[in-house]
């Protein structure tokens, strides 16, 4: 990723390789998460996936150690090489709690996560 796109980011990203499911209607694709933030996720493009920018999907990020998932409704904001960039449009309260904890553990800065959560209200 270029420095210019990193400079535009308002939300910290965490590299986290775990199983991910992308769903739309009756179609489901298995993939892997590349990284995640409070506002979106970068996912490896699964074989057979043929989505477009603007399409909305259900994204489930599997947290194996807890046997739970972070579930969100997300729209495709970019497709590049073998990756799909998703922007979170909706996330339930249980999932945001899991995502917040994941971010805190991996960033090591609970205050940074709190500031970014407060920015979500204004994003």
Q: What is the DSSP string of 12-36?
A: --EE---EEEEEETTEEEEEEEEEE
In a domain, 84, yes or no: yes
Compute the mean pLDDT over every residue in the chain, rounded to the nearest whole number. 86
Nearest one of 94, 108, 91, 109 to 38, comparing CA atoms: 91
- State the pTM of this model: 0.85
Provide the domain limits for residue 43: 12-120
The predicted structure's pLDDT at residue 92 = 92
For residues 71 and 60, is the Cβ–Cβ distance under 8 A? Answer: yes
What digits encode the pLDDT tens for the residues 7-16?
355 788 888 8
Task: Count how many domains the chain has.
Answer: 1
d(CA 103, CA 113): 7
In a domain, 2, yes or no: no
What digits encode the pLDDT tens for the residues 69-78?
999 999 999 9
Burial of 19 (0-12, 13-18, 19+ CB in 10 A): middle
Q: What is the CATH number of the domain that holds 33?
A: 2.40.10.220
In a domain, 39, yes or no: yes
What sign does the dihedral 19-21-22-28 (CA atoms) show?
A: positive
Nearest one of 109, 108, 107, 112 to 13, comparing CA atoms: 107
What digits encode the pLDDT tens for the residues 34-80?
999 989 999 999 999 999 999 999 999 998 765 789 999 999 999 99
């Amino acid at each position: 990723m270029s420095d210019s796109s990193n400079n535009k980011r308002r939300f910290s990203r965490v590299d986290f390789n775990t199983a991910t499911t992308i769903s739309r209607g009756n179609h489901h694709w298995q993939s892997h998460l590349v990284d995640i933030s409070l506002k979106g996720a970068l996912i490896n493009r699964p074989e057979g996936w043929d989505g477009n920018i603007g399409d909305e999907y259900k994204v489930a990020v599997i947290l194996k150690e807890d046997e739970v998932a972070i579930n969100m409704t997300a729209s495709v904001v970019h497709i590049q090489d073998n990756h799909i960039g998703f922007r979170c449009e909706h996330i339930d309260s249980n999932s945001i709690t899991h995502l917040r904890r994941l971010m805190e553990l991996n960033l090591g800065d609970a205050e940074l996560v709190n500031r970014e959560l407060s920015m979500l209200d204004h994003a």
